[in-house]
Amino acid sequence: MTALDTAPPGQAPPVTTPRPRGRRPRVAPFVGIAVAALIAEIVPRTGVIADGVLPPLSSVVAELVSEAGEATLWQALGRTLRTWAIGLTAAVVAGVAAGLLIGLVPVLRAVTASTVEFLRPIPSVALIPAVILIFGTDFESGVVLIVYAGFWQVLVQVLYGIQDVDPVTYDTARSYRFGLRARVLHVVWPTTLPFVFTGIRLAASVALVLAITGELVIGTPGIGQLISVAQSSGATTRMFALVLLTGLLGTLVNVGFRYAERAALGWHPSVRRSENAR
């Protein structure tokens, strides 16, 4: 877990003062973006790489802006996001449920350890042919790929989280005769939550990659399919405009989940712990 903004602990209670946010203007990231944009603008114009195929950034951006006025793009975007959201939700729900079950039952943990280690590294894309065979070429195929890949991300994080439960805290709950439900609710789940967030964030990125890969390879309607069509019809600028869009989408997803994580866990000890690491 990365260091997030929280109040410095160790002060006398009650701590209510709002903490000042860093006012330092952050220039470095924008310098990086500007340099990258400059290269993307200049290199295609020099014709050093694949003469004529690579459009300069300005025309790619212009193309994207004009595409934004068309319904086709928004429809495709909606489809891609639908696949992504359904797959991600299913993966998170299944991963959390399975993770809690496996993590809390030592026998299950021992039995599944080797299976998890074997199934987890299988790249989802390697399953595309099998998925087409079983589920056809509809968007469900993309969903299945996403669930498969996302499930492991979340499951593994939940298992890490359960291992992180403090034995003293757990013993305390036991000695005060917390039932299983109360132990999970008040001890296991709060400890696991930051790990769950990490799992969701990882799964969300993977899910986006797979949503587009599925469309590219299987031909399910969506941004990926548009890219593939643009490429085969020689609309290079359009193709790159769509690629740029997927990049923006990925960034948005990542930033969005980071923000949600920060908002939800600002109070969490794991956040605090990483702040005053001993």
Partner 1 sequence: MTEMVTVKGLNKVYESTGRRVEAIGDITFAVARGEFACIVGPSGAGKTTLLKCLAGLLAPTAGEVRIDGTPVTGPPPGMAVVFQEYGRSLFPWKTVRQNIDLPLRQKKLPRDRREKLVTESLAAVGLADAGDSYSWQLSGGMQQRVAIARAIAYEPQVLLMDEPFAAVDAQTRADLEDLVRSLWRSLGITTLFVTHDIDEAVYLGERVLVLSASPTHVLDDVRIGLPADRDQVTSRSTPEFAALRARVHRGIQDAKAGRRGTGAAA
Q: How far is the CB of 118 from partner 1 (least distance, A)?
A: 25
> With binding defined as CB under 8 A, does residue 258 bind partner 1?
no
Contact region with partner 1 (CB under 8 A), list: 8-16, 121-129, 153-161, 212-220? 8-16
- The total of other beta-carbon atoms located within 10 Å of residue 1's CB is 15
> With binding defined as CB under 8 A, does residue 79 bind partner 1?
no
Q: Which residues have CB under 8 Å from 181's CB, separation 6+? A: none
50 vs 180, beta carbon nearer partner 1: 180
> With binding defined as CB under 8 A, does residue 272 bind partner 1?
yes
10 vs 69, beta carbon nearer partner 1: 10
Residue 21 DSSP class: P
Pick out residues in 149-208 that bind partner 1 (CB under 8 A): 166, 168-169, 171-172, 174-179, 182, 186-187, 190
Structure tokens at 199: 């799992």
> With binding defined as CB under 8 A, does residue 14 bind partner 1?
yes
Closest CA to 242 of 229, 233, 252, 251: 229
Alpha-carbon gap, residue 131 to 97, rounded angstroms? 24
In contact, 188 and 100? CB cutoff 8 Å: yes
Instruction: Name the CA dihedral angle for 205, 207, 209, 210, rounded to a multiple of 10 degrees.
Output: 160
118 vs 267, beta carbon nearer partner 1: 267
19 vs 120, beta carbon nearer partner 1: 19
> With binding defined as CB under 8 A, does residue 106 bind partner 1?
no
Helix (H, G, I), strand (E, B) or coil at 2: coil
11 vs 232, beta carbon nearer partner 1: 11
Q: How far is the CB of 193 from partner 1 (least distance, A)?
A: 9
Which one among 5, 9, 78, 256 touches partner 1, defined by CB under 8 A? 9
> With binding defined as CB under 8 A, does residue 267 bind partner 1?
yes
Alpha-carbon gap, residue 221 to 215, rounded angstroms? 6
Vertex 256: Cα angle to 240 and 247 (nearest 5):
10
Q: How far is the CB of 172 from partner 1 (least distance, A)?
A: 4
113 vs 130, beta carbon nearer partner 1: 113
Pick out residues in 113-152 that bind partner 1 (CB under 8 A): none
Q: Which amino acid is at 220?
A: T
98 vs 271, beta carbon nearer partner 1: 271
9 vs 129, beta carbon nearer partner 1: 9
Q: Which residues have CB under 8 Å from 153's CB, separation 6+? A: 91, 95, 199, 202, 203, 206
With CB under 8 A as the rule, give the number of residues binding partner 1: 26
- Classify 266 in phi/psi space as left (phi over 0), alpha (psi -120 to 50) or beta: alpha
**How many angstroms separate the first and last alpha carbons of the chain?**
15
Residue ranges that bind partner 1, judged by CB under 8 A? 9-15, 166, 168-169, 171-172, 174-179, 182, 186-187, 190, 267-269, 272
